[in-house]
Chains A and B, each alone.
Chain A
Amino acid sequence: MAKNDVKLIGAWPSPFVLRARIALNVKSVEYEFLQETMEPKSELLLKSNPVHKKIPVLLHNDKPICESLIIVEYIDEAWASGPSILPSDPYERAIARFWAAYTDEKWFPAMKGILGAQNDEARMAAVGQVTEGLVLLEEAFQKISKGKSFFGGDHIGYLDIAFGGFLAWIRVTEGMGGIKLLNETNTPGLLKWAEKFAADPAVKDVLPETQKLAEFSKIIIAKLRAAAAAKAK
């Protein structure tokens, strides 16, 4: 297939875009990565995702698919002959989808809370929330992985990709605050998982470098803090 059959509109710092890139790598799909500057958003992005106007957007033969987790499932189904991303058992699939949604709806907003915190008190509160979430994810990891390296078993799967998308941001947040979000006490399993995930062939070349992301994060943090300050007024 010609390389330009598959395009991904995205930006390198985004954890959501990263999910799509890892999934495409798992399936060994060649694609064109169209980097958005985001300000202003490109015509193509606005046309391909008129509802949310967000990245990532996967364009497969010019047909757009939006929302990162939906894109990952689409990649799994459209390239069915490659390694499976979702488990085959219906119950395991439901559990994977549940926890992936949890990371987006509950856990990630708490992470943003750390970055956007106005002061130490707010930051500590946010760290507490994130830690509680990580303890739940650790429990889930122990149950789901059944002693294997990944949520997906021997190979990375849907939930590894969903949660793993945030790994570089976890590292940046740890560096910033001098805290260890993934640690031996609370999350021994996830601590080991993180190393293996980062080293996975589908991940290592696309995972943002922590230092580079830390530099970039200063812009995001300024925005999050401004938004939090405006909300507090």
Chain B
Amino acid sequence: MVEEVVVLGFWSSMFAMRPRVALTEKGVEYEYREEDLPNKTSLLLEMNPIHKKVPVLIHNGKPVCESANIVQYIDEAWKDKGPTLLPSDPYQRGQARFWVDYIDKKLYEAGKNIRSTKGEEQEAAKKVFLEILKLLEGELGDKTYFGGQSFGFLDINLVTFYCWFLTYETIGNFSIEAECPKLIAWFNRCTQKESVSKTLPDPKKVYEFCLFLQKYYGVA
């Protein structure tokens, strides 16, 4: 059966990048469709009526929503194709899911707070952001990837934030590498992978886009 795999996304969304990295890791061909978020397509609204957000994976016409959920689905639906993304041990799987849940609850907000505040508020935002990264750095330890020897579920769900770091650093006037060198080393290792380098946009473009949004819409 010819498989139809479509991803609805937005180029700068670190969440929308996650399924694309996962599909490429698995060697699954897919069609990427860029959404114009102020003018969402009827397809997006039909496929994700609850949240109306990207990304959406449409597999043979059936939608899967919520990025981390999509990555797990990709691992399970194509379990015999490409590398296994989640660890096989139940405890390790629980840990990987825990940290992805932590990233989802904390990291986006923390980054957003850096780029949308000034002065003391921004200093506080930077502190929170770095604490989150340090905790993740501790979880990485001396491993090559969060998944151990292999690039996996937790790696995929975190790496997509990397293209936003230049934006946070420039607006926040700080160096993430100075505080979290091991984590930055891990990010650099990941960008050597084709699935990451092909999917993540140029950080400079992300920064320009952020400035554009702030200038014209007053939003961050």
Contact = CB atoms under 8 A, between A and B. Distances in A.
A90 interface: yes
Interface residues of A, number: 22
Interface string B52-73: 0000000100101110011011
B59 A70 contact: no
7 tightest Cβ-Cβ pairs between the two chains A and B: A90-B76, A77-B90, A94-B73, A74-B94, A90-B77, A78-B90, A65-B94
A94 B91 contact: no
Interface of A: 51, 60, 63, 65-67, 70-71, 73-74, 77-78, 90-91, 93-94, 97-98, 101-102, 106, 136
B50 A94 contact: no
- Highest count of chain B CB atoms <10 Å: which of A71, A93, A97, A98: A98
Contacts of A77: 90, 93
Given A97-B69, A98-B66, A66 B91 contact: no
Interface residues of B, number: 22
A175 B79 CA distance: 47
Contact of B101 (A60, A70, A74, A102): A70
A160 B46 CA distance: 26
Main secondary structure on A side of the interface with B: helix
A51 B73 contact: no
Nearest to A136: B50
A74 B101 CA distance: 14
Contacts of B77: 90-91
A101 to B, nearest CB: 6
A98 B49 CA distance: 13
Nearest to A133: B50
Contacts of A91: 59, 62, 64, 73, 77
A60 B98 contact: no
A198 to B, nearest CB: 27
14 contacts: A51-B135, A65-B91, A70-B94, A71-B94, A73-B94, A74-B91, A74-B94, A90-B79, A97-B69, A97-B72, A98-B64, A101-B66, A102-B50, A106-B50
B50 A78 contact: no
A73 B64 contact: no
B97 interface: yes
A63 B89 CA distance: 13
A91 B70 CA distance: 10
B32 interface: no
A74 B90 contact: yes
Interface in B71-98: 72-73, 76-77, 79, 90-91, 93-94, 97-98
B209 interface: no
B126 to A, nearest CB: 20
B108 interface: no
B212 interface: no
B98 A66 contact: yes
Contact of A78 (B59, B64, B91): B91
A60 B50 CA distance: 36
A51 B94 contact: no
B65 A98 contact: yes
A70 B76 contact: no
A91 B69 CA distance: 11
B69 A65 contact: no
A71 B95 CA distance: 10
Given A73-B94, A78-B91, A91-B59, A101 B69 contact: yes
B102 interface: yes
B14 to A, nearest CB: 18
Contacts of A74: 90-91, 93-94
Q: Which of A71, A90, A97 has the most CB of B within 10 A?
A: A90
Given A51-B102, A71-B94, A91-B64, 13 more contacts: A51-B135, A66-B98, A70-B94, A70-B98, A73-B93, A74-B90, A74-B94, A90-B79, A91-B59, A91-B62, A93-B76, A94-B69, A98-B64
